[in-house]
Amino acid sequence: MVYNVVMPQLSDSMEEGKLIEWKKKVGESVKVGDVIAEVESDKAIMEVQTFHAGVIKELLVKEGSTVPVKTVIAKIESQDVVKGSQKSEQKPKEHSQEKKSVPEEKKEKTLKEPTKEAPHKEQPAEHKESAVAKELNVVPKSLEVPKESRISPKAKELVQEYKLDTKVLFKKYENETIHSQDVIEFIKERYFTPKALKVLNEYNIDIKEFQLDHKIDTEEINLFIHSHNLSKEVSLSSMQKAIIANVTASAQKPVYHIYESVDSRLLEKNKKHSITAWLVKIFAKVIMKYESFRSKVSDSKLLISPNANISVAVADEKNLYMPVIKGAQSLSIQEISQKLEEFKSKLHTTSFSSEEMSGGNFGISNLGMLGLERFDAMINRDESGIVAVGAITDSKLNITLTIDHSLINGYEAALFVKDLKKEMQNPQNFEEA
Amino acid sequence: MLYREALNRALDELMEKDENIVILGEDVGLYGGSYRVSEGLVEKYGEKRVIDTPIAELSIVGNAVGMAIGGLRPVAEIMTANFSLLAFDQIINHMSKFHYMSNGKIKLPMVVRFPQGVSRQLAAQHSESYEQMLSAVPGLRVISTSDVNHAYHALKKAILLDDPVVFIEHELLYNKKGEVNFNDTMDPFKARIVKEGKDITIVSYLKILDDVLKSVDAIEKELNCNCEVIDLCSLNPIDYDTLAKSIEKTSRLVMVEEDHKTGGFGSQIVSWVAEELFYSLDAPPLRIAGEDVPIPYNRKLELASIPTVDSITQKVIEWGHKNGL
């Protein structure tokens, strides 16, 4: 295949150019982007690069001579037979290709000029469009808009920038006006697999980041995401926002921690109900003895609840709720277990009402079943404290209490823990009734 | 704070600091200004600095020009734009040109303030807008202020500036409420992005901007789109950078103004877009402006002669449907 190299038009006003020097000889092989000559326009001396790889077949203009713009100055014979034949199904016949490469080179310049503010920084073959055009097997003609279609200026710019085959586009939008968004959709559909497109949109990546000369798959986009370290933007769910607000508020509280281990032999004996259930029951009982554990500050007054309302952390990887078991002191262990089951099943339907989530006095968060030996938890909303329940080691259950110092002082908390320890050893508490 | 209170506060603060600042105009002193902008100032700064003038607009601006040449910083109030016509020779031939004619030797650190626009049944001779004429005069800076915070900062900047400034207010804005951020370091000549969006750029200024903002919800709902609303703030110089950024993003422009359409200020914005941003457009720009008629006295006809919340909503929606939204 033989390609023509023409005298490029390097500026609006350039009508002819002087060939200063040939950089390649006849018979020399060239790659895409190689400088083959230097020409002088009315403004400056510029390099002429080739759009085609191959062997210089002919140099038609002598050094020092001046020829009009678009005159063929050299011919390059392409050796790239393999590549050529791959695309031959869609490409026009070799013969016409040869002719059309002339307007192509002209188009590279003239199309861009009206929009770019400084159009005269010439890099004849360096533009990404040229590479795109080469691969695109579409040799753009001047854009002919069929009578039944209209195209917006911005959309037209895009069509030309990406050298799209407008036949398909116009067919798709027959009797409609094509807008830039339509063109972008068209480009996306054409050059990205549906899966890739999803990722592209998810990460809000500009299509300009990609060489649009082949179908782009997820693998390529993922590579791009990793190499550019792009973060995925996920908007916060209302629950996540609520959690952030709650824990941030909680972090402001003046708290202290009590690290304790309580006797767990009775717990281990009565495995019919979960540790959490038993703890709700026993904590409720002890809390009933301590007003301050059931109090909260509201409008510079202390509100003391008549019931032990225990909030229980119910969570999976994504969700975290603290629904409240109200009046836990008067519930049987069966009733408590049943409540906890209810909470667990609601976790996946996320259907806790604000009523169910409010009014707690004290919280329980149990992660012992996941093997955590010990941790501490953050106080939920306006509660007085929370117990973080770890694993059992040597018949001892590790618990950490986080206590709001503005409501409960250390001495009182110590008494509370003492009582708690006693109740954990009291078999009456573990009777089912 | 009210819009007129913000203007009053700006005047008061600067007059306290610099005794070269004087106010002159009809009823600016004892009466406190027709729209109460200079309320309380004559009591505080005396009749030599807050000067009640005769009903002679040419002399008000002429005197201000003389004061400015002589080293004062006058702020002249014209009761409404309609009467500024009588002062146009001073504004256009003198105020705008002395700096140039004197090869920069004479500076005119002065402000001419007036309200304009359609108020409520003031009829044809008291409802006009003249920003299109004044913004076309080289040598003048023209500020239009629609926002309380902007009004405060822009008037201060206008007074402190060594260039002559025409400061345009609107009769229906004086009682508009808003907050002033006293620590704001805004450039009052920069356009204000009042609401961010990605699909349509709506450009406006002065009172009609508030109507645009009221219409945005219905537009966005109907067209399922996102409008960016820009307050020009300064009509000369025009902050083209902010406009260009927005229009390149949205690729659609709507220009809304209260003034008569033919020769109106918006035509400058639209022609600039056609010249500079043609290839960024996805739709022909839409101009919403007043009818080419003298403003009628009859209330229904008066409202029919200018854009309203309803007509803006309807026109933008119609245009949006036609243009791919």
Predicted confidence at residue A27, as pLDDT, reads 87
- Please list the ranges in chain B whose pLDDT falls under 70: none
Chain B residues close to A152, C-beta within 8 Å: 251, 281-283, 324
Put simply, the answer to whether A155 touches B323 (Cβ < 8 Å) is no
Chain A residues close to B200, C-beta within 8 Å: none
| Interface A-B: count of C-beta contacts within 8 A | 33
- Please list the ranges in chain A whose pLDDT falls under 50: 81-140
Predicted confidence at residue A146, as pLDDT, reads 74
Angle of CA points B28, B30, B34, to nearest 5°: 40
Model-level ipTM above the cut of 0.85: no
Please indicate if any CB of chain A lies within 8 Å of the CB of B177.
no
Query: Could you say which of A152, A181, A182 has the minimum Cβ distance to residue B281?
Result: A152
Chain A residues close to B323, C-beta within 8 Å: 177, 179
Put simply, the answer to whether B279 touches A115 (Cβ < 8 Å) is yes
Chain A residues close to B282, C-beta within 8 Å: 152-155, 179-181
What span, in angstroms and rounded, lies between the C-alpha atoms of B109 and A69?
56
Predicted confidence at residue A349, as pLDDT, reads 76
A238-430 classified as CATH 3.30.230.70: no
Query: How close, in Å, is residue B229 to chain A by CA atoms?
Result: 21
Predicted confidence at residue A79, as pLDDT, reads 65
- Note whether B159 and B73 are within 8 A (CB): yes
- Pick the residue from chain B with its C-alpha nearest to A156: B279
- Pick the residue from chain B with its C-alpha nearest to A114: B279
Scanning B263-282 for CB atoms below 8 A from A yields: 278-282
Predicted confidence at residue B20, as pLDDT, reads 97
Residue B114 three-state SS: strand
Task: Please state whether the peptide bond connecting residue B237 to the residue before it is cis, i.e. omega within 30 degrees of 0.
Answer: yes
What span, in angstroms and rounded, lies between the C-alpha atoms of A386 and A366?
10
Query: Could you say which of A114, A115, A179 has the minimum Cβ distance to residue B282?
Result: A179
- Residue A242: other Cβ atoms inside 10 A: 14
The domain ranges of chain B are: 3-170, 192-322
Query: How close, in Å, is residue B245 to chain A by CA atoms?
Result: 15
Query: Could you say which of A114, A154, A181 has the minimum Cβ distance to residue B281?
Result: A154
CATH class, domain B3-170, is alpha beta
- Pick the residue from chain A with its C-alpha nearest to B283: A152
- Note whether A196 and A218 are within 8 A (CB): yes
Query: What end-to-end distance do the CA atoms of chain B give, in Å?
Result: 39
Chain A residues close to B251, C-beta within 8 Å: 152, 154, 179-180
Predicted confidence at residue A142, as pLDDT, reads 59
Tell me, yes or no, if B57 is annotated catalytic.
yes
Residue B231 three-state SS: strand
Query: How close, in Å, is residue A112 to chain B by CA atoms?
Result: 11
What span, in angstroms and rounded, lies between the C-alpha atoms of A110 and A114?
8
Question: Under CATH, what is the fold of the domain B192-322?
Answer: Rossmann fold (3.40.50)
Put simply, the answer to whether B278 touches A153 (Cβ < 8 Å) is yes
Predicted confidence at residue A143, as pLDDT, reads 66
Angle of CA points A202, A204, A207, to nearest 5°: 120
Predicted confidence at residue A80, as pLDDT, reads 52
Chain A residues close to B280, C-beta within 8 Å: 153-154, 157
Put simply, the answer to whether B324 touches A152 (Cβ < 8 Å) is yes
Put simply, the answer to whether A152 touches B282 (Cβ < 8 Å) is yes
Put simply, the answer to whether B283 touches A181 (Cβ < 8 Å) is no
Residue B230 DSSP class: E
Scanning B213-252 for CB atoms below 8 A from A yields: 251
Query: Which residues, at least 6 apart from A13, have a Cβ–Cβ distance to it below 8 Å?
Result: A42
Catalytic residue selected from B26, B77, B126, B258: B126
